[in-house]
Amino acid sequence: MVQLWGEHFTKRQLLEHAGRLPQVGGVRLVELADGLERGTRVLEFRTGSGFQFDVMVDRAMDVGRCELNGLALGWQSNAGFPGPWSYEPEGLGWLRGFGGGLLTTCGLEHALFMAEDSVAQYNYPAFQTKEFGLHGRVSYLPARLTGYGERWEGDACTLWAAGEIVQAAVFAEQLVLRRRVEARLGESRLFVHDEVENIGNAPTPHMYLYHVNVGFPVLDDGAELLVPATDPKPRGGHPVEGYTRFHGPRAGYTEEVTEHAVKAEAGGTVPVAVVNRARGIGAYEVFDRAQLPHHFIWRMLGQGTYVVGIEPSTNRTAGRLDAKAKGELIVLEPGETRRYDLELGALAGAAEIDAFAARVAGCG
């Protein structure tokens, strides 16, 4: 049954009260019409619980705006969500269109900081090495939308969207990301199911990272990180003491990244959240440690750019060349597939925050 506003409804009861399902919740395809975002397709999800989010069809089906009862969960930057034409592949050009949102995907053949590496496997004499820019190009690629809508299974209703994002070039990588995003009517969470396949004929390196960006009003002075972590290590010289507590925006703040080992629940999943007990609101992620064995925290607590990233990854923060040297760089053989699953959601009120904190504390 669907639970809405403290009541339970069967499918028949709900449709007897509502002229059509979008009166309560649903999925709607729209197109942004102004500025750099003009022409970008967006799927608007409403679950009926006050949980709403946008799937950016032309930005790898990432999650842009996300809120619960008008309170934002994800951070947004002044870059906005321009279409794929805004991508600048060199160096730090990725930041030019980094609008944030609740989820930005990094990959498919490269993630993390810049690197120059061999691409001799593609057997093209003019293309022996490649300079990889920050976080790869997938988040700037448009999806071929294969479907979206609402699906009833008995008295439960699932809102969904599916698409394919192809990252390919002649004499280079040929990868496809098949993404499915789902949310259940009456709930305040969403699920991302990803499948990355090498559809080419050459072995291809693969790196993947979920850049989950939590912002104000969840993030504020006194907010805290709930994570089942051990052995925190800074990337850089900053201290790690107190990295799970957050302060308000500060002038001249320099980003801090802390990597740590994470403990998992019995089923292998890892729960992580940023919570604001004073406001009674939190944003969380749950990922599979077998799929994404590394995790780090991006603290950017500056004025204007005020955000915390909770980021599961296939690789350590040291990046591509370090992973290659250690034998940790994934290489997809022709036809090989990797799967990833991510749950994102809201925590509303002290009881939900306490229950999630207990879940984190119970990880072994």
Reduced to 3 states (helix: H, G, I; strand: E, B; else coil), residue 329 is: coil
Hey, what amino acid is at 90?
E
Angle at 333 between CA 113 and CA 137, to 5 degrees: 30
Query: What six digits make up the tokens of 355?
Result: 């229950």
pLDDT in tens, 55-71: 999 999 999 999 999 99
Euclidean distance between CA atoms 230 and 226, whole angstroms: 12
CA dihedral 287, 288, 289, 292 (to 10 degrees): -70
In the Cβ-directed half-sphere of 160, how many Cα atoms lie within 13 Å?
A: 14
pLDDT in tens, 182-215: 999 999 999 999 999 999 999 999 999 999 999 9
How crowded is residue 250: how many other Cβ atoms within 10 Å of its Cβ? 11
Q: What is the pLDDT of residues 104-142, one digit of tens each?
A: 999 999 999 999 999 999 999 999 999 999 999 999 999
Task: Report the pLDDT value the prediction gives residue 85, as an integer from 0 to 100.
Answer: 87
Mean pLDDT of the chain: 97
Asked if the model's pLDDT at residue 320 lies above 90, the reply is yes
SS3 string, 225-244, reads EECCEEEEEECCCCCCCCCC
Q: Is 2 within 8 Å of 15 (Cβ atoms)?
A: no
Peptide bond before residue 217 is cis, with ω within 30 degrees of 0 = yes
Compute, in degrees rounded to 10, the torsion defined by CA atoms 57, 167, 181, 269: -140
Across 85-89, 260-264, 277-281, least confident range: 85-89
Residue 91 is predicted with a pLDDT of: 95
Q: Rounded to an integer, what distance in angstroms lies between the CA atom of residue 72 and that of residue 307?
A: 12
> pLDDT digits over 12-50, tens only?
999 999 989 999 999 999 999 999 999 999 999 999 999
DSSP 71-126: EE-BEE-TT----GGG---STTGGGGG--EESEEEE-SS--SS-EEEE-GGG--TT
Question: Tokens in use for 43?
Answer: 């799927």
Q: How far is CA 182 from the centre of its chain?
A: 14
pLDDT at 165 over 90: yes
Q: Where are the domains of the chain?
A: 15-361
Question: Whole-model pTM?
Answer: 0.97
Classified as helix, coil or strand, 56 is strand
| Burial of 322 from C-beta contacts in 10 A (0-12 / 13-18 / 19+) | middle
Tell whether the model's pLDDT for residue 86 goes beyond 90: no
Whether residue 297 contacts residue 275, with contact meaning beta carbons closer than 8 Å, is answered with: no
Q: How many CA atoms lie within 13 A of 17 on its CB side?
A: 9
Topology (CATH level 3) of domain 15-361: Beta-galactosidase; Chain A, domain 5 (2.70.98)
Q: What is the pLDDT of residues 208-231, one digit of tens each?
A: 999 999 999 999 999 999 999 999
CA distance 301 to 237: 17
Residue-level pLDDT at 330? 98
Q: Give whole-number Cα distances, 19 to 12, 16, 233, 358, in Å.
A: 12, 7, 55, 41
Average pLDDT over residues 231-255: 96
Average pLDDT over every residue of 292-315:
98
